[in-house]
Amino acid sequence: MKQVLILAIIALISFSNWAETVQAKGMGTISYKVLTPEVKAEAEVKAQMKAIEGYFAKLGDSASENFDAIQEKIQIDLDKYILSTVTLNEQDQPDTHKYTRVVRVELNASKLNNLLKNSSSAGQNAKAGGVKSKLVYIFLGREVDSVRELDDRVSKRVDMSVKVQSTPGSVKSNQYVDAKGKVSMETETGGSSLHQTEKLTYRLLPMQDFDSSITSEFSKGGYAVVDPAMAIDDKDFNAAKESAAKGNDLSAETKRGFAKRMQASQIQYLILTTLDVGQTAQDDATGLRRGSVKVTTRVLDWNLTEVVSVPSVGYSAIAPNNKEASDIALKKAAMEASREVVSRLNTLGVR
């Protein structure tokens, strides 16, 4: 029985992570003179649209901004994007002549995302047969390999002053002064400490299994994806991996190498993404293992001007063992990072 329960949980987890449907809640309030079925229906539509707006808001600022451009198209053909609706609560306020309805809807995320992409500048350009912008991406997955902690460096100074007190003795002619000395020392100790942060080295993770999924996201967004192996010199690519393993940014020489190859191949954009895999931990709700990944992404043009910068974002996934949990979180993070880049390029009107 326990094994069946675990399998059921895993099935639900897999469905929620990769299914193309999502659930969202929304609330709609309508002012009325007379409460009629039409008023209630209008409140339901408003609640459904709020649920869809909330869905795009969770995808990020750029997706939320792009939603404004397709909101009218969604409402005209609402049944196409909503698979089911459940009323969670409704309230009539006769004194203020307001009616409120709260709903939970099941959204067709695939169709919503496709509508968003097709309505973008890149999507419309692709439909019209225009020339697609070329881009090349470098996704580097890594996890901490070793940590070296450094002790604080402390510098001290010591100041000493000497006081001598003499007691005169009896003085006789043709004799030296007989003095007894008493010496006291005053010591003052002060200083400063320099705290040195820990140094990390990373182990790079293979990303080949995710290449097709990443490429698919950019292609669906209306861009022409160039194989990194064809567009980036091996020397520069290895230098980029070495920098990531040491936790450093790309050197100026490596960046210039990227720019040179991009200009020669007429590639407009370079996407640099770092995926940091964290330590797995037990998920309190399921007892399974939870993997986590933090993603940082930058988009540069062929003049090395930064076009898009996505702050570090965290993603997680749960699975029966550590490796599977980390792998699922890594794939999820890579795909979501790709979607976020496409969404932000769409916001900028990049074709």
**DSSP per residue, 9-48:** HHHHHHHHHH-SEEEEEEEEEEE-SS--HHHHHHHHHHHH
Q: Using CA atoms, how far apart are residues 193 and 66, in angstroms rounded to an integer?
A: 51
pTM above 0.75, yes or no: no
Residue of 318, 310, 319, 313 lying closest to 333 (CA atoms): 313
Say which residue the tokens 């399974």 belong to.
288
d(CA 253, CA 233) in angstroms, rounded, equals 12
Long-range contact set of residues 118-121: C-beta below 8 Å, sequence gap at least 24: 119/66, 119/69, 119/70, 119/73, 120/66, 120/221, 120/222, 120/342, 120/346, 121/222, 121/346, 121/349, 121/350, 121/351
Burial 53-87 (b: 16+ CB within 10 A, else e): bbbbeebbebbbebbeebeeebeeeeeebbeebee
The boundaries of every CATH 3.40.50.10610 domain in the chain are: 131-148+197-347
pLDDT digits (tens), the chain, 351 positions: 444 334 333 334 433 443 478 999 999 999 999 999 999 999 999 999 999 999 888 876 667 777 888 889 999 999 999 999 999 999 999 999 999 999 999 999 888 888 877 776 665 665 656 678 899 999 999 998 865 554 455 555 555 554 545 455 544 444 444 444 444 444 444 555 544 456 688 999 999 888 988 998 888 888 899 988 888 888 998 999 999 998 888 888 998 999 999 999 899 999 999 999 999 999 999 999 999 999 999 999 988 899 988 888 999 999 999 999 999 999 999 998 998 888 888 878 776
Q: Domain 21-113: give its CATH code.
A: 3.10.129.140
Strands 21-31 and 179-194: unpaired
The HSE-up count of residue 43 (CA atoms within 13 Å, CB side) is: 23
With a CB cutoff of 8 Å and minimum separation 6, the contacts of 257 are: 233, 235, 236, 239
The CATH T-level fold of domain 131-148+197-347 is Rossmann fold (3.40.50)
What is residue 113's predicted lDDT score, i.e. its pLDDT? 80
Give the pLDDT confidence score for residue 62 in this predicted structure: 66
Predicted confidence at residue 122, as pLDDT, reads: 63
In 3D, which of 266, 265, 292 has the Cα closest to residue 278? Answer: 292
| Whole-number pLDDT of residue 64 | 75
Using CA atoms, how far apart are residues 17 and 332, in angstroms rounded to an integer?
8
Per-residue pLDDT, 154: 53
CATH 3.10.129.140 in the chain, residue ranges? 21-113
> Which residue do the tokens 């990227």 mark?
258
The pLDDT value given to residue 10:
37
